Structures are given as structure tokens and as C-alpha cells.
Chain A
């Protein structure tokens, strides 16, 4: 209910609901204005009463119009939901509309004549002037409305099922309860002091690396949150349940992200602004630009992220800036099952010499439809510091000891 309300409020504020609504509400406002203006402008009581009776004819007409539309839509929806439906079921929806509309037309013509007879030309001009001054009056100019009609090519609003076909942002009104790795919003979220991903994760590193980075050798985390497609290509989200389970239980910083996407033919360009609430290293900021190539079976994602940890006003520190160029290839073996490989280049602290690293990770996931909801069960195994091609001392080295396992499930549904 919360998501439905939020989606409705966003659509209401952006004017989308008005654009998608039928004309009933606008027509009701026009008739209301006609009634008010007639009461005000028609001076003779007898003629005024006759004019208002004629307007009642239009009001009844509006009720009939609304009823016809609602009945017709319900009839089509019922036919759509029936597996054994035939052409006759759809025809049965259309037939009564024709007859009812012909009757309605006759009664409206009668009401029109009655109104014309009861109101003088000067009074009619006054009433028309009042009504035409309303913004709703543009509905009355049918020729202009027809000429000005250009359908807006908007993004399809339903859930995107096959992982390799998904875009960087969720479609409008789609909500994801995130509790698993490999989601778009955590792609490339590698800060100098921590890697942020959804789900339950266990990270292991040897004592030497633990001493160097200041993080424990065995680390358990649990991160959950939500993503919402707010507009066609704009998504907002947060991992607001970030817990460190071990070696010591504590709350980690909350991650918040906003992504704007630009869709081109076969390529998506996305810009993400993400930040973390202050933790041990203060605020974390990670602006990034991404390129995604969705495909039927194979998808490629890459990007450039500039993560930094900048301290806080109270706890000042020199900003730690990194650079991260993640790459992910996703292969949908079948539409519901995928494998993925992650790599790229990461430089967690640009100020430190020889810090360039190449991570290597493998993921997998299964997409499951449950009613109107989609569940992604995902898992990831990653060597986040796999290769150091040019360390400060010595030659290139591989680190198989530092690894991370993450797993979880994310739930997607359409809010409206």
C-alpha cells in the first residue's frame, strides 16, 4: 500500500495521472462551471430553471458515458482473464456500447435544443466566455486535440524478467526489495574501506592484509534495502539495513543511490550518484558513469566510479580517493538462470603507490515468478584483490586468500 501510494503521489505530482485518466473528471468540471455560470448569468427565473433542467440532461449523459466506459473496460478485462474466451466474448462488450451511445446522442441533442431555447444569445456568450476561460476547456477543441496528438514513447512499465535483458534502472513504479548480490545499484560500489553489496556476505583475508587495511580477517555482513523506479529512467534506492554481524555486531553506514539512465539503441548510459552516511571513515561518496549492453542471452556492463571517503565536519581527515572500473558479463543460460563473471580494475587508494588491483568474481542466479512478483535468488564468489599487477614491492602477485561470498534474494513487484 505504501508503494502504491508513493507511486500514485509521484505520478500525480508529475501530471502523469491526469494524462492517463479518462475525460470524465474534466467533463464533470466543465459541466459544473456551466451550471454555475448559468445560475449567475441567466437572469429570468423561469428560463434559468429550464436551462438548468437542460444541463441536467448533460449531467445524466456524463453519468451514462462514465458507466459505459467502466462497463466496457470491465467486460474487456473479464474476457482477457478467461482462457477459453472467444471472439464472441469481446464482441459482447462492444455491442451494447453502440446502442447505448445512439440513445445518449438523442437525449443530448434534445437537451441541447432545450438549453438553446431557454437562454438568450447574450447570456450564452457570457456562459461560454466563463467556461472557455478554464484550462479544462481545451478538451472542447476536438480538432486541435486530434491534430496535436503525438504518443509519447515511454518505457514499458512492467517487470523486466530475464536478467541479461534488464536495464540499469528499474522501470517506473517497479519496486525491488533488495537482499542479494549482483544488483544494478551495487554494481561498482567499492569504497576504499569496504565493498557494498546486498545480501548476507562473508569476507575472508589473511592477517597481513587485515593489518594493512584495518578490517578484520573474517567479516560477516548483512545488507538489505529497497530500489524504486521513480520515473521512466530514474531510480532511487538505499541499503538501509546494513549490519556487520561478525566479528562484532554493529550498524554499518547506510548507502543511498540515485541513478539516471539514458537509453539508446542497444546501449544504456547511466549516471549514478551514491553516498554513504558517516562511518569510521566519515562520509562516503561514489559518483559513477556506467555503460550497459543488455541482450537476449548475453549482457555486458562496465563503468567508471570515483569512490571517496572524506571524513566529517567533526572528524576531519584527508580524503581517501579511489578509482574503480568494474566489468560484468552476464550469460543467461536459460531465461530463468544466469551465470556472471566480474572483473575490472580497482585502485582503492590513489595516493598509495602500487595499489592497482584486478578483482575476479563469479556469480549465479535464478529468477522465479511467484504470482505477480519476481524473485531473484543470487550468489557471488569473488576474489576482490585477486591480482596486483604492479605492487609497490616485488612483481605481480595473485591473492587467492582474500575472498568474499555473498548470497541472498531480491523481490521485484509493480507498485501501480
Chain B
């Protein structure tokens, strides 16, 4: 009896953990960029023997983390800016209405604004990282995440 209870308990826990693992919502772009960069930052010294190159690469990956925060900030700022535009400024009771106030529209289709520049900056950092890496080193680091 005890064995079956323990077995059912473990299977239940396993299923619960499995469901949790499969059902989580997708992360934001900033989280993904940050995760890819931090996965490489910690091990770059083990891959790149030259300390000067390794240090610059480490700095690049850390800059991506800062840039990811900036991306989040700019996304929120773009939405706030979208809401503040005069044509979307609803008056009276309509100001609280999620649809008529334009709140939903600004959430679903905010202007790209600053985030475009930030993605450009990210691309340049990644290209600089490539210039510092041999193909073999790049592939080794790419396997981290």
C-alpha cells in the first residue's frame, strides 16, 4: 500500500512538474537576448585563450544585458507615448475604456521607435563579437545556448 502511495505521489509530482515545464508562456525578446548573452559571458575565458579578446567579449555580453533592460524600458515607453497621442486621448468615461481609449491598440501595435535603434545596437555588438571570434570559438560559444 505504502509502495503504491509513494509511486502515485512520485508520478503525480513528475506529471505536475512536466506540465509546469511545458505550459509556461514564451519569454520576451529581451529575456532571450539576455539569457543567450549571459550563457556565454561566464565561459568565454574557457573558449577564448587570448585574454584581451576574452575580456572584450565578456564586456560585449554584459552590454547586451544592459541593452535588454533598455529594450524593456523602450517597449513600455513606446506604449505610453502611443497612449498620449492627441488622437487617442479619449475624454470622460471613454478614457477608461480599454478599446475606445486606444489602450489595446497601443499594446498590440505600438510604434517601434527607440527599440529599432536598440536592436540595431544589438546587431552591431553581435557583429563585433564575431569579429573577435574564430569560427570554432563562435560555434563552441553558440552551443551554450
Q: Is B109 a contact of A101 with CB atoms below 8 Å?
A: yes
Q: Is B126 an interface residue (CB 8 A)?
A: yes
Mostly, the B contact residues are: helix
Q: Is the Cβ of A112 less than 8 Å from the Cβ of B99?
A: yes
A109:B105 contact, CB within 8 angstroms: yes
Q: Decide yes or no whether A22 CB sits under 8 A from chain B.
A: yes
- Smallest Cβ distance from A158 to chain B, in angstroms? 4
Beta-carbon contact of B99 and A115 below 8 Å: yes
Give the number of chain A interface residues (Cβ < 8 Å).
Answer: 90
CA distance A91 to B29 in the complex (A): 16
Q: Are A146 and B130 in contact (CB under 8 A)?
A: no
Q: Which residue of A lies closest to B139 (CB)?
A: A83
Considering the complex, which residues of chain A in the window 1-34 have a beta carbon less than 8 Å from any beta carbon of chain B?
1-2, 4-6, 8-9, 11-12, 17-18, 20-25, 27, 30-31, 34
Contact with B along A139-174 (1 / 0, CB 8 A): 111110111010100001111111001000001000
* A61 nearest in chain B by CB position: B108
Contact with B along A192-210 (1 / 0, CB 8 A): 0000000000000000000
Q: CA separation between A4 and B124, bound complex, in Å?
A: 32
- B97 close to A87 (CB less than 8 A): no
B2 interface residue (CB < 8 Å to A): no
CB distance from A294 to the nearest CB of B (A): 12
The answer, yes or no, to whether A360 is at the interface (CB within 8 Å) is no
A73 touches B32 (CB 8 A): yes
State the Cβ distance, B102 to closest chain A Cβ, in Å: 7
| A34 and B99 contact, CB distance less than 8 A | yes
Question: Is A76's beta carbon under 8 Å from chain B?
Answer: yes
A125 at the interface (CB under 8 A from B): yes
CB of B84 within 8 A of chain A?
yes
B14 CB → nearest A CB, Å? 8
Determine how close the nearest CB of chain A comes to the CB of B79; give it in whole angstroms: 4
Tell whether, in the assembled complex, residue B73 and residue A77 are in contact, meaning their CB atoms are under 8 Å apart: no
Q: Kindly state the separation between the CA atoms of A34 and B138 in the bound complex, as whole angstroms.
A: 48
Kindly supply a per-residue 1/0 record for chain B positions 94-125, scoring 1 wherever the CB is within 8 Å of any chain A CB and 0 otherwise. 10111110111111111110001001101110
Name the CB-closest residue of A to B30: A20
Consensus secondary structure, chain A interface: helix
Known: A17-B25, A104-B108. A142 touches B79 (CB 8 A): yes
Q: Are B83 and A142 in contact (CB under 8 A)?
A: yes
In the complex, A398 has a CB within 8 A of chain B: no
Q: Does any Cβ of A come within 8 Å of B140's Cβ?
A: yes
Q: Are B44 and A161 in contact, CB atoms less than 8 angstroms apart?
A: yes
The CA-CA distance from A414 to B28 in the complex, in Å, is 19
Tell me if B103 and A9 are in contact (CB < 8 A): no
Among B21, B36, B94: residue with most chain A CB under 10 A: B21
Task: Please state if A20 and B42 are interface contacts (CB–CB under 8 Å).
Answer: no
- Apart from A18-B25, A80-B126, A116-B99, 14 more pairs, CB < 8 Å: A22-B26, A70-B26, A77-B36, A90-B126, A108-B109, A128-B96, A131-B98, A151-B73, A158-B41, A159-B42, A160-B42, A161-B42, A335-B45, A369-B46
A-B contact pairs, 12 of them (CB 8 A): A21-B24, A27-B104, A61-B104, A80-B36, A101-B111, A108-B104, A112-B105, A124-B97, A142-B82, A142-B103, A158-B145, A334-B49
Residues of B within 8 A of A (CB): 14, 16-18, 20-21, 24-29, 31-33, 35-36, 38-47, 49, 54, 65, 69, 72-73, 76-77, 79-80, 82-84, 93-94, 96-100, 102-112, 116, 119-120, 122-124, 126-127, 130, 133, 135, 138-140, 142-145
